[in-house]
Chain A
């Protein structure tokens, strides 16, 4: 079946603007994750959703970052008042179930550039 998809592939925005990044997980996967990859910080875990449960937000870098997952499927990561240090590739992943033994399948990422 189809893999994890993300949109847009690339996003260029001006400092101070809000951006929304979208993730469509693999059909039937209940767990969804957001990560960020930047030159300075490497790959960082941001947030995790399991079904309709409250998300684990422990990795969000600031209160400008938020995410939601509607109907236990599609997720949107929102960055408000973007800063240049938010420039990174934002990766989404999903897994069949919650659990540390589950393989996470990654999407191609959204490359965000904040000018």
Chain B
């Protein structure tokens, strides 16, 4: 079953603009991770935020986590055409198996 739900399902912006994607989940987690996928193949890990962290940065990426609202956001600043991809949040359930539970993803299109 899907733990995370990304929002929006699709997002199209102009190159140079910022892109924000949101993820909500249902149960307690150990951490939340964001992945990128190009052309429906391998997933690339972007960033991991632990349940006791509230914000994390990596290059042009900024991730926030609000465990009280069971939500996370991924911000990509100064977007580039190469950022066009599908973005997924994934959670590891506290006390659960170590397999990741993925949301349905946000398809991001950067218009040149």
Contacts and interface: CB of A to CB of B under 8 A. Distances in A.
Interface in B15-32: 30-31
Interface string A85-102: 000010101000011111
Contacts of A105: 45
Interface of A: 4, 31, 33, 35, 37, 42-48, 50, 56, 58-59, 89, 91, 93, 98-109
Given A43-B88, A106-B43, A48 B48 contact: no
B98 A31 contact: yes
B30 A101 contact: yes
B102 interface: yes
Contact of A100 (B42, B45, B98): B98
A100 B92 contact: yes
B112 interface: no
B31 A42 contact: no
Nearest to A43: B102
B41 A108 contact: yes
Contacts of B35: 106
